[in-house]
Amino acid sequence: MSPKKIFITIGLVVIVAVLVIVIYVLFQKKRVGVGSQIQPGNQAAATLPSGTESPNSQANVEKAQKIFENINQETISEGIKKDGSKKIDFKNQEGSPIPLSDFEKALGVEIPSKIQEYLSNGYQIFYCPGPDGKKEYGAYLDYNQVKIYRGFTYDVLDMMKSWETTIFPNFHTVLFPNIDFSQDDLNQKIEFRDGKYRYAEVNLPGGKKGSINYEDVEFGVIIAASPSCLDKVQQYYAPSEP
């Protein structure tokens, strides 16, 4: 083989090798990106496993209580009315996310262990301006992406349906923070149905009606006290493909 042909052959081999390496690196980056994607507002998820007590648990509980109290008391601004909702992260004095377990203690929330198993520490509270000028509350719970992609063997909706019988007493302090429920109120039997979202009507004190609405999205679950509020935040937590 002539020196010219040898030179060309070596050049082609080098080019092919470089292309193979580039394609491999891009593929690995894509895999990592899919497995670690986090929804807006949850960029700084705590590293402690869900349900684990943090070293500063009591301080975190008090801080979370104060944050929620401030949310409840603040006036709905014109900017929030225009945006349609406000999302709130819970962070401690150092600016680190307050673990979900401390948030639960602070608000008297109870998330079943079967569901906690597939949650990260990423979460947000949100509210929307209601038609009566009052706040309509909700929450977003972020899935643990590693567990979802590597060990999620049963349907998410089935998991959520198993929570439906107790989701009202478990989560009423977040969804209806300004209503004083009796134990009989909390023990009422509610029935979820299929609609635009999974929903159930709730009897509120004084003969009023409320509702609990939730939707499972790719990266977590959205729970709201009204379908209209869930409408407003749904695109934020589950943006459609362009």
Residues 68 and 174 in one domain: yes
Domain of residue 1 covers 1-36
Q: How many domains does the chain have?
A: 2
Distance CA 99, CA 96 (A): 9
Residue 191 lies in a domain: yes
Q: Give pLDDT tens digits along the chain (242 positions).
A: 555 555 455 555 556 554 545 444 444 433 333 333 334 434 333 344 444 556 678 999 999 999 999 999 999 999 999 999 999 999 998 999 999 999 999 999 999 988 888 888 899 999 999 988 899 999 999 988 777 665 554 566 778 889 999 999 999 999 999 999 999 999 999 999 999 999 999 999 989 999 999 998 888 899 999 999 999 999 899 876 55
pTM: 0.75
Give 207's DSSP letter. G
What DSSP string runs through 150-180?
HH--S-HHHHHHTTTTTHHHHHHHHHSTT--
Task: Answer for the pair 198, 213: CB distance below 8 angstroms, yes or no.
Answer: yes
Residue 177 lies in a domain: yes
Distance CA 139, CA 39 (A): 14
Query: Could you give phi then psi for residue 216, rounded to 5 degrees?
Result: -85, 125
List, in sequence order, every residue forming a beta bridge with 136; answer none if it has no partner. 128
